[in-house]
Structure 1
Amino acid sequence: MKKKRISVVIMVVLTMLLAGCGQKNSSAQGEDTTVKEQKPDTLGDQSVKVGDNVISLGDEMSDVTDKLGEAQDVTEAKSCMYDGYDRTYSYDDLTIITNEEGEKEIVNSISFSGGEEIKCGLHVGDAASDIPESLNEGNVTESDTVNTYEFSDYGIALYLENQKISQIELYTIAE
């Protein structure tokens, strides 16, 4: 239990350091308006399959709650990256961190330590030697405890214990 809490704290700190505030465009009147892509409910590069549901970076948390139900625990802290708050939603083995964009909460980190999967087919419990070469197309940092793969606007962190994946995190990269 203590390891899980330490992992969550590390994940939150990494996310706060790396999380972005989303894309903003200035309107003709000088107001910020949020640009949001419509995402199909398929397993994309920035998505996690949770049971029969797909959760993606950039999703609105209200849509995630519609799919997964209410979180077991929700914490809130003033963001160190932008004006507003970060919220952490905890489910059994899934943690989602959001940031505020106007009146909406947008998913900027998804971390899990259970049976969920990401597009390249990785699951918690897979051997480090099973990490696909396709992840090496990004900016790669490897160590005995965590491998990170960063692409243009998102990253994947694979936490390792005894050369097996113990936790996977998808996160948004700050612009």
Structure 2
Amino acid sequence: MSAPGAGPAPLVLALALDDADQRHLDELRRRHFPPERLRVGAHVTLFHALPGEELPAVLDAVREACRRPGFAVEVAGARSLGRGTALVLRSAELDALRADLAGRFTPWLTRQDAQRFSAHVTVQNFVSPAEARELLARLSAGFVPWTVRATGVQVHRYLGGPWEAVETVPLGRAPGEPVSRT
């Protein structure tokens, strides 16, 4: 929803993850995010604000870009956000997907979305710097990288805090991968 005369709400694009990976990251976020500020689950934002009136063109571009196989993303460590903490993600495939989409969306990119992409999952935000440093130290102590599985791209409408799901576009299957008959 948007204010009368303001046009459709902006679109947020996020990486869709395997269900088990998503549940694990959601639990981390629930555990460490101030509950009164928690409006959405854990997410990997690809674009923060694409024009809502361009939804059909955005969906077409996402569908075209998602004609690539799903891929692994390394959770490589934790980093400070000043007043929060994030998990750092690394994946050449994720960078390529994001760059492909950015090229398609160039005329619509905000200053934030035109910046260098730095994939991460925010697990804590809106806390004191001391609280953020404490969580960063705990997450970093003995950190062992792991992988999550990218499965698609989620398109949402930004509703001033919460997001409204529009569509999740799945990534295609790998060459030679059999078609699921389920």
Same fold flag (TM > 0.5): no
Greater RCO (CA < 8 Å, at least 6 residues apart): 2
- TM-score of the pair, normalised by structure 1: 0.26
The structure that is strand-richer by fraction is 1
- Radius of gyration: which is bigger? 2
